[in-house]
Structure 1
């Protein structure tokens, strides 16, 4: 599956539809494929063989499916793996404190470089439903929190560079931790 759509495609700017639960077999299959893509893209041999760009998260709109589904497979600074594929993920609470990646953010749907800091919440709590139909509530901080916010933005038609300060892209967000 390398049918990732690129910046400029109208689906990337749409608000994705809620997934009806219990999820259909088709929706479960899409959710599973999102996670397989992310995991395969992180395996150098498979990524090279399939021509995949490495990614740590993917949202259904990026494969031209305008539905609220995301897959994240990321390791935090302590080596803990956060691997979740969720239907209808929502941020139910967040910190006032901000965070941003020192390297800026990238996206599998955005080919050109957009330099600049992307302010995000330093901590978020996300609720969603996993592929087996169980409700999941995850407390996140650091890189995993940023990745979940990035993917959930895709469900709302927002791309990471929309958050970059146009006047001063390298302006360090107030009250923010650099990651």
Structure 2
């Protein structure tokens, strides 16, 4: 079994206790009940390890507040502050808290590099992205939208944190096929507060991607999920939904776009419109 476990407090046990997350939810187990493989856990976090439950290991208290990442189960230790080292990603530092960057921040137009899906830090970035997405009441988020120019996206078509089984994480996604038929519908974007417009998207797409951990997946997405995916996939290519708006929709949005430009006070280089 692979699991995500983090230290938790319990009045019932005096010894170390950990929370294991799997497809059925989150449970607390005593560390002494588990056998750890691939060395001990140490450091600032992001160390993926295998966890094997011993005989007679009991669980207490389902903890659905912990988020599950695309029905995958990981084991990751996070010591002290909610911080992970990002040296392998080439990122100087991953802040303890992320926030959505707003247009015309240049990071929304920058090139986004592929990321190693086996790097344990990917799961931690995805977890933080889900937190930001839910806080801003979104259904999807791409890494460049939180200032990380890597090919990583997360989404939950329900938009509900309680529906964590619907969460999807895709690393280095690719569109390999698509429908000829397109559908026009209204879209918004967390990086464009106050703007919505009609955008044409393929009715369905076939995609290939990796899960955190390195497992390859192939999916056919239709309807609402296909629209969410295409919107976030565009972000990975530096394409924004205003680029795909119908001309009359874009014209109506220009007043708000001008306001976003005038209010921009970023320090990440010249804005890219």
Would you call these one fold, judging by a TM-score over 0.5? yes
Structure 1 residue aligned with 2:151, among 68, 82, 87? 68
Root mean square deviation of aligned Cα: 2.2
1:26 aligns with 2:121: yes
In structure 2, the residue matched to 1:113 is: 195
Considering Cα pairs closer than 8 Å and 6+ residues apart, tell me whether 1 or 2 has the greater RCO.
1
**Please, which runs of 5 or more residues in structure 2 have no aligned partner?**
1-96, 159-164, 251-273
Which consecutive segments of 4 or more residues in structure 1 shift more than 4 A? none
Aligned pairs for 1:64-103 within 5 A: 64-75=147-158, 82-101=166-185
Distance 1:99 1:82 in 2: 23
Question: For 2:198, what is the secondary structure of its paired residue?
Answer: coil
Contact between 2:120 and 2:212, CA under 8 Å: does it hold in 1? no
Contact between 1:35 and 1:85, CA under 8 Å: does it hold in 2? no
1:14 aligns with 2:110: yes
Structure 2 residue aligned with 1:153, among 225, 231, 234? 234
Structure 2 residue aligned with 1:141, among 198, 222, 234? 222
In structure 2, the residue matched to 1:53 is: 136
Question: For 2:210, what is the secondary structure of its paired residue?
Answer: strand
Normalising by structure 2, we get a TM-score of 0.51
Structure 2 residue aligned with 1:162, among 230, 243, 257? 243
Distance 2:189 2:148 in 1: 17
1:122 aligns with 2:217: no
**Please, which runs of 5 or more residues in structure 1 have no aligned partner?**
42-51, 76-80, 171-179
| Higher gyration radius (CA) | 2
In structure 1, the residue matched to 2:258 is: none
Contact between 1:31 and 1:86, CA under 8 Å: does it hold in 2? no
In structure 2, the residue matched to 1:5 is: 101
Comparing 1-10 with 84-93, which one deviates more in the overlay?
A: 1-10
